[in-house]
Amino acid sequence: MTRVRFKTNRAVFAALTVAFLGAVLLVHPACGRRAPALKHVIFFIGDGMSAQTEVAASRYLYGRDDGLAWQNLPAKAYVATWDVNVYNGNARRAGRPPYSRASFTPFLGYDVKTDGPTPRLGRDAANPFPPGPATDSASAATALATGFKTDSGNIAWLPGDPAGGELPTITEEYRAKTGAGIGIISTVPFNHATPAAFISHNTSRSSYYTGLKGYKGLGIADEIILRTKPDVVIGGGHPLLDNPDFNSKKGYISESLYRTLQASRDYLFVERTAGGDGGRAIAEGAAAAAREGRKLFGLFGGKGGNFEVPRVDDAPGRPLVRPATEENPSLAEATVAALDYLSRDPEGFFLVVEQGDIDWANHDHDFRAMVGCVADLDGAVRAAMAFVERPGDALDWTNTVLLVTADHATGGLVLDLGKPLGPGDLPLQDTRVALPESPPPAGSDRGVGGNGAGIKTPVYSAPNVYPDEEVSFGTAGHTNELVNLALTGAASRYFMKFRGTWYPGLVLDNTQINAALREALGLSALGRRAARAS
Angstrom distance (rounded) from CA 69 to CA 52:
16
Listing DSSP states for 22-34 in one string gives HHHHSPPPPTTPP
Does residue 520 fall inside a structural domain? yes
Question: Measuring CA to CA, how many Å separate 499 from each of 222, 495, 513?
Answer: 38, 8, 10
Whether residue 18 contacts residue 101, with contact meaning beta carbons closer than 8 Å, is answered with: yes
pLDDT (0 to 100) of residue 526: 84
Question: How many residues comprise the chain?
Answer: 534
Residues 256, 262, 263, 267, CA torsion sign: positive
pLDDT (0 to 100) of residue 6: 31
How many C-beta neighbours within 10 Å does residue 433 have? 12
Angstrom distance (rounded) from CA 221 to CA 178:
25
The residues facing 296 across adjacent strands are 232, 268
Q: What is the pLDDT along the chain (534 residues), one digit of tens a residue?
A: 333 333 334 333 333 433 333 333 333 333 344 555 899 999 999 999 999 999 999 999 999 999 999 999 999 999 999 999 999 999 999 999 999 999 999 999 999 999 999 997 755 545 667 777 999 999 999 999 999 999 999 999 999 999 999 999 999 999 999 999 999 999 999 999 999 999 999 999 999 999 999 999 999 999 999 999 999 999 999 999 999 999 999 999 999 999 999 999 999 999 999 999 999 999 999 999 999 999 999 999 999 999 999 999 999 999 999 999 999 999 999 999 999 999 999 999 999 999 999 999 999 999 999 999 999 999 999 999 999 999 989 999 999 999 999 999 999 999 988 888 999 999 999 987 655 544 443 444 543 322 233 334 444 578 999 999 899 998 999 999 999 999 999 989 999 999 999 999 999 999 999 999 999 999 988 863 332 233
Question: Measuring CA to CA, how many Å separate 410 from each of 22, 113, 137, 446?
Answer: 31, 22, 10, 11
Does residue 5 fall inside a structural domain? no
Residue 185, helix vs strand vs coil: strand
With vertex at residue 384, the alpha carbon angle to CA 379 and CA 386, rounded to the nearest 5 degrees, is 95
Angstrom distance (rounded) from CA 144 to CA 375:
24
Q: Which domain holds residue 146?
A: 10-106+123-335+356-426+436-533
Question: Measuring CA to CA, how many Å separate 483 from each of 36, 110, 410, 471, 508?
Answer: 28, 12, 10, 19, 10
Angstrom distance (rounded) from CA 239 to CA 208:
13
Whether residue 316 contacts residue 425, with contact meaning beta carbons closer than 8 Å, is answered with: yes
Q: Which residues, in sequence order, are CB contacts of 363 under 8 Å at separation 6+?
A: 48, 410, 411, 445, 446, 453, 455, 462, 476, 477
Does residue 349 fall inside a structural domain? no
Angstrom distance (rounded) from CA 248 to CA 209:
9
pLDDT (0 to 100) of residue 366: 97
Which H, E and C letters describe 381-420, residue by residue? HHHHHHHHCCCCCCCCCCCEEEEEECCCEECCEEECCCCC
How many C-beta neighbours within 10 Å does residue 424 have? 18
Does residue 113 fall inside a structural domain? no
CATH of the domain at 274: 3.40.720.10
Phi, psi (deg, nearest 5) at residue 292 = -90, 0
Angstrom distance (rounded) from CA 236 to CA 342:
20
Angstrom distance (rounded) from CA 422 to CA 419:
10
pLDDT (0 to 100) of residue 274: 96
DSSP state of 274: T
Helix (H) or strand (E) holding 286: helix 278-292
Does residue 488 fall inside a structural domain? yes
Angstrom distance (rounded) from CA 313 to CA 335:
25
Angstrom distance (rounded) from CA 494 to CA 454:
39
Whether residue 326 contacts residue 281, with contact meaning beta carbons closer than 8 Å, is answered with: no
Torsion of the alpha carbons at 146, 148, 149 and 155, rounded to the nearest 10: -40
Angstrom distance (rounded) from CA 348 to CA 217:
33
Does residue 228 fall inside a structural domain? yes
Question: Measuring CA to CA, how many Å separate 357 from each of 107, 121, 405, 431, 464?
Answer: 30, 22, 15, 19, 16
The residues facing 43 across adjacent strands are 352, 403
Determine the residue type at 335. T
Q: How many domains does the chain have?
A: 1
Angstrom distance (rounded) from CA 425 to CA 319:
7
Question: Measuring CA to CA, how many Å separate 375 from each of 3, 49, 320, 379, 405?
Answer: 27, 12, 10, 6, 15
Question: Measuring CA to CA, how many Å separate 504 from each of 9, 58, 117, 499, 507?
Answer: 10, 28, 7, 8, 7
pTM greater than the 0.85 cutoff: yes
The residues facing 508 across adjacent strands are 79
The residues facing 155 across adjacent strands are 202
Does residue 112 fall inside a structural domain? no
